[in-house]
Structures are given as C-alpha cells and as structure tokens.
Copies of this chain bind each other. A is one copy, B any other.
Amino acid sequence: MSLTVVGSLAFDAVKTPSGSRDRMLGGAATHFALAASFFDEVRPVGPVGDDFGPEELAILQTRGTITDDVEHVAGGKTFFWAGEYHDNLNTRTTLRTDLNVFEHFEPKLSPAAQDCDVLFLANIQPELQLNVREQCENARFVAMDSMNLWIDIAHDALVRTVKAVDCLILNDEELEQLTGAPTTVKAAEELLGWGLKAVVAKTGKYGAGLFTEDGYFFIPAYPLHEVVDPTGAGDTFAGGFVGYVAAQADAALDHQLFCEAMAYGTALASFNVEEFGTERVARLTGGEIAERVGELQGMTRFEIEALSLRG
C-alpha cells in the first residue's frame, strides 16, 4: 500500500513570540509526509530547486518516505515563504512569498505514485488537484485541503475538485465561505450532499470537527503550555488523519474510522507546534503518538450519572 501526497516543498522563514528561524524545511507536502510516514509508505510529489540539498531530502525520507517523485528543477529555486505570528499566535502576516519553481508546477506522477491506495491533495490550485486526482483512478480514498484564496478566485474549479474527492479538510470559516452557509453545520450538510464521505472542519487551537452521513464528532486540540510555531499544523493534522485511514486498509471508510483518524491527526498536529518547522515531528516516536492519543481519549470522555431533573 502507499500514500501519495501532492503539494509544496518549501523553505520557510518564521518569527513567533517564542523565537525565529531564517530558513527551515517546510511546505505542505513535507509536513504531511513527516506525519503520514508513521502509518504508510509516503510518496510526496512536488518541485524543488537547486537549493534543496541532501540534508533536506534526508529529512523528507524520514520513516521510509520515497522521494522519487520530488522533481528537481535545474537552475530553479525552491518555494520560499516568510511569515510572522502575532497576538498569541491568533494572526499571522505573510512577509514574503516566492513561488519560484512552484509557479509553473505541473504535477507529473510516476506510475508508482499514480498507483497509490490513498491520495492527499495538499493546498494547490484546484485545477492541478483535479488533474492529479484523475491520474490516480485506483485510489480508494482521496482527501484534499484548500484555502480562502481559491474560494475567492477559482470557486467553480474548486467545487468541481471537491466533488471528485472523498474528504475535504478545511478551516470552519472556509467551509462556510465555500458554501455560503451561515454555520459550519449547514456548510457540512451541503458538502455531504456533493458526495463527500467526510468533511473535516479545523478550528485551529480549539480542535477539529468531523461530519459524515452518520453524524458529528469533535476532538479538542491537545492542551499545550506553549505553542512555539503553528506553521504546518494543518498539514500535519492531515498527515495523521489521512495516514491513519491509509494504515487501516481493511477497514470500512465509515464514521468510526474517521473518528479514530481525527484523534491521530490531532495528536500529530500537537507535536508539530511544539517546535519550529519539522523539528519535533522528525524525531517523534510511535510510542509518543500512542500515549497522546490515549490522553486525548481521557480528556473527552465523561459518564452520565442517573439524575432526575426538576420540572
């Protein structure tokens, strides 16, 4: 079995209240792969430039990730993003975005990448996502991310792409924006009507909600004393979530499976934000993940005592 992810491989410069990094490995596909590699063999697809060296490739290859589909664009430079987080990490300012080799990216998947069991379309142009989705006809589960930019400037293409996948993972406000619905619940209902099996509403530091035909599920973010760097948290969540589904190759794609996947995604994301960039997840262990998933279970369970109410 294998898991293909298409998205950015990047260098990030980040400043947060906890410190800063001038240049660190980043990108949606990178964060996704580092998380998903705990669950399955991952194949990231994306372009890099001459500045992407053996050191970066080695991090990407953590836990057996196969980098054959990382396209080296000779003479090019890797996608670069610089940003600063303010206000207790609630807002961030993009200081610089150099698309570089990403600007003319046209995903070409090797036969092995096309033959994936599970596919994740990280946040890129919806037309490209749809193109990739169509290259992977045999995938039994396809999930995707997107962002407000594409809702604004490529709404129809985004809708077509969403209708071609099984699971959409977006921020709650983006779900509302995409559908024009006044609440996340109504947005999710509309989206399930488009044929999705699962809609995941990320709510940042509060956690994430899951909507399927069989109901609703919510899991809070793991409570942390300090969030050092939120960059990549969403992609790391997706890596844990989609990776878990990939690992359970014999399980039905049902509400129960997705609830469990939510717990793994949440655990992975919580480790990601504890340090800058890929630093924490690169050296994470399976035991640490299992422990945190167990803690999350304990933090959300409650018993109902027999109680006779008045009136």
A residues within 8 Å of B by Cβ?
17, 37-40, 62-64, 88, 176, 182-186, 189, 203, 206-207, 209, 215-220, 223-227, 244, 247-248, 256, 259-260, 262-263, 285-286, 289-290, 293-294, 297-305, 307-311
Contact = CB atoms under 8 A, between A and B. Distances in A.
A252 B79 CA distance: 57
B290 A309 contact: yes
23 contacts: A37-B310, A39-B309, A40-B310, A88-B183, A182-B226, A184-B223, A185-B223, A217-B299, A218-B300, A219-B300, A219-B302, A247-B307, A256-B303, A259-B302, A260-B302, A260-B305, A286-B308, A286-B310, A286-B311, A289-B309, A297-B302, A297-B304, A300-B302
A183 B221 CA distance: 13
Nearest to A287: B309
A272 to B, nearest CB: 16
Given A39-B309, A88-B182, 12 more contacts: A63-B310, A183-B227, A184-B223, A256-B303, A260-B303, A260-B304, A262-B302, A263-B304, A286-B308, A286-B310, A289-B309, A290-B309
Contacts of A215: 298-299
A289 B311 CA distance: 12
A262 B303 CA distance: 11
Q: Which of A223, A259, A285, A293 neighbours the largest number of chain B CB atoms within 10 Å of its CB?
A: A223
A203 B221 CA distance: 12
A37 B307 contact: no
B304 A294 contact: yes
A207 B186 CA distance: 18
Contact of A39 (B182, B209, B301, B310): B310
Q: Which of A215, A218, A247 neighbours the largest number of chain B CB atoms within 10 Å of its CB?
A: A218
| Interface majority SS (helix, strand, loop, mixed), chain A | mixed
Contacts of A303: 256, 259-260
Given A297-B304, A304-B263, A218 B220 contact: yes
Contacts of A218: 207, 220, 223, 299-300
B263 A302 contact: yes
Q: Which of A38, A203, A302 neighbours the largest number of chain B CB atoms within 10 Å of its CB?
A: A302
Contacts of A302: 217, 219, 256, 259-260, 262-263, 297, 300
B293 A304 contact: yes
Contacts of A247: 307
Minimum-distance CB pairs A-B, first 10: A286-B309, A63-B311, A218-B220, A206-B206, A259-B302, A300-B300, A38-B309, A185-B223, A216-B223, A185-B225
A208 to B, nearest CB: 10
